[in-house]
Structure 1
């Protein structure tokens, strides 16, 4: 629905939490903001609400991209019946254990060093260069924490899929923090595209986006290897069957325009996408409709209805366990803030988008879920 000259929202404003609503109005007041679209998973974020998409003239905002630069999802359809790969609960538990042993989750990374092109800050900041390279060295192929996940699923045809949600880890956080500080230093949330610091941010951001994709691919390849796929099969699947979307990024358009997505995925005409619901209700595969009113975007998930602290305080562990019956997952106090109850009901989130910005073409039912707790 069109709210005003600049704003299109897939959710009525009165259904948006007050913090996110204030962030929307703050954004719209800036003359450099030409258009804004709000996704139905919208909730309060840093500077810009999660689920916000903004087209800006002549400037880029590190805060509008956020700390986890390039965060996104990769999904691969193995084409093999899930019943053949995971015939029973014992097989699922064994897979869960082996993934947890071989793919780091949480704040840390690998003790070994994986090769990746070194980072050299375009802003020529030696401390930032050192910090990012230290992160990249150990964190390639690691999941991270919070709502990041690995999920093995069965689709409507019973085929096994692997989905990974992760980002650029501490590298992106370090780059984001550095350039947010530079913006604050000049008293603005934006950096001019015509400034050295604005161009430096774009180059460093792209490095982090590329690292985030390489990180997800490394995890997907690792899971396929654990499941017994050969190197040739892994190469074929990640080339032919991969869906990749990142939902925290900025992209140049028409030379002087910058499209910012904060927790929103591209939904150009015909583009396949991924919208996860929660640990219990799985993942929806979509195809974009290219709706320009909504800046060719869709939600990146269901959206939270409780903060992490609120979820830990309000959700009962017994209810969480009951809701997850039949799914191999970590269901304890460490993942309570990621339980299904802290997210919006996925049916209403999809209904707000279907036929407008996306069509749902498949549903992936979770069999094994690994959270980055």
Structure 2
């Protein structure tokens, strides 16, 4: 049998070679050309039926692989135009963030979305993006710092009772910042999250357990911080009387553990969608009902619990050092995905730099190293998928901030507000961020303000150029 007969069957180059080998074997067995062609058509029609063995097994495997590649390409086609989505604070949002959100809303798995007023360009989904998908989870829709979160502890101490030097000494002794940084083994604390059986459920989690156990109770670099400041409650709430209190506010995530989980599953997602438009490469998804999707979901939620455990230990150390018990605590994650009912469907809602704000839900929206943060109560806005901003949002990228901001101007800004800073780089200067008051003003239908935190003593990791 010559190649022309096989070309007419529609076989591709590699499949033709395998078909010729199989046809030669069938000719040796005494079959006529028409009989062999009939068998080859049957293999084409149902290659799975021939995978178990026999003369056509290799051809069947190749045809199955080709069909899987075509299915992946077809399933990865973007919509011609993005689904419509609401935007809060459009005047505050750079075009690049809108463009990224447009691409996300063209994904075939996307069903709804929203953009918060602190939005700016990120990897894949923009920071401040909220995206609801059907039976799909997007690792870069959650972000690299899985479970990045906030926590506030209100203490039974008057704000003026803690002097700057004492607060500085406490933060230097009881907090740690930076990539790979950990407490000395004798100072390390335990937490129930380290005793979960989940760590044994996947080889990746078993491999990363020691890293997580070593770094627990610490913070990363960038915009992570721990601060002492004044918490002002205008009306009785949170089980507290109106007034001013000393408080601790922290911003931290899942450390190197979460970052490696994100990297591992992003690679798997990208391999699953080789034909995905390059503009959406970092939005590659995992079907939630697939083995990889379920593994990511499990690891993501563990990283979220681990991130909150870091806050627990940071706040417990400082409260113990002050010999007090917190009067009230508020915390929330803002880099995570949740199962949520949206428009009558059970969807996966990704919040990449967005605060959950269901009706009555408490959350935290910080400003910057010298600007106030706020405790808020969600209003459950359906159009926003029950979300709000997670902070002020950047107006200058890190490199742009380092190029354009002068250290003396940043120091003057801090001094004018009475802020003592430990660490912190020019890339995290207040001038690199939008004004938090403007961001809040754009989301009055998403949250109500409960209380205000004014930073006084701030610790961050050292930057490329410290303030």
- Higher RCO (C-alpha under 8 Å, 6+ residues apart): 1
Query: Any idea what SS the aligned residue of 1:120 has?
Result: helix
Cα distance between partner residues in 1 of 2:313 and 2:199: 22
1:21 to 80, 88, 98: 98
- Per-residue CA deviations over 1:10-35 (Å, capped at 9, x if unaligned) read 022x6532321221111111232111
TM-score, normalized by length of structure 2? 0.72
For 1:37 and 1:58, the matched residues in 2 are separated by 19
Give the 3 Å change call, closer, same or farther, for CA 258–121 of structure 1 in structure 2: farther
The Cα of 1:80 is off from its aligned counterpart by 2.8
| 1:131 to partner: Cα distance | 4.1
Report how far residue 226 of structure 1 moved. Answer: 2.2
Give the 5 Å matches for 1:1-373: 6-12=84-90, 15-83=92-160, 85-86=161-162, 91-107=163-179, 108-112=181-185, 113-115=188-190, 116-117=194-195, 120=199, 122=201, 124=202, 126=203, 128-156=204-232, 157-187=243-273, 189-229=284-324, 233=325, 237=326, 241-254=328-341, 256-325=346-415, 326-330=418-422, 335-354=425-444, 356-373=445-462
Shift of 1:363: 1.3
CA deviation string 1:121-163 (max 9, x = no partner): 65x4x3x335421221211110211100111111232211111
Q: Distance in 2 between matches of 1:225 and 1:313?
A: 41
Q: Distance in 2 between matches of 1:80 and 1:137?
A: 32
- Secondary structure of the 1:277 match is coil
Question: Does the 8 Å contact 1:121/1:200 carry over to 2?
Answer: no
Aligned residues: 350
Deviation track 1:251-308 (CA, whole Å, cap 9, x = no partner) reads 1125841010000000111111111111111211111111011011010100001111
CA distance in 1, matches of 2:300, 2:319: 29
Unaligned runs of 5+ residues in structure 1 are: none
Higher strand share: 1
Unaligned 5+ segments in structure 2 are 1-81, 233-242, 277-283, 463-467
Aligned-residue CA RMSD in angstroms?
1.8
Residue 11 and residue 121 in structure 1: after superposition, are their counterparts in 2 closer, same or farther (change >3 A)?
farther
CA deviations on 1:313-332 (whole Å, 9 max, x unpaired) are 1111111111111211136x
Moved more, 187-196 or 211-220: 187-196
Query: Any conservation in 1 of the 2:168–2:422 contact (CA below 8 Å)?
Result: no
In structure 1, how many angstroms separate the alpha carbons of the residues matched to 2:200 and 2:300? 10
SS at match of 2:217: coil
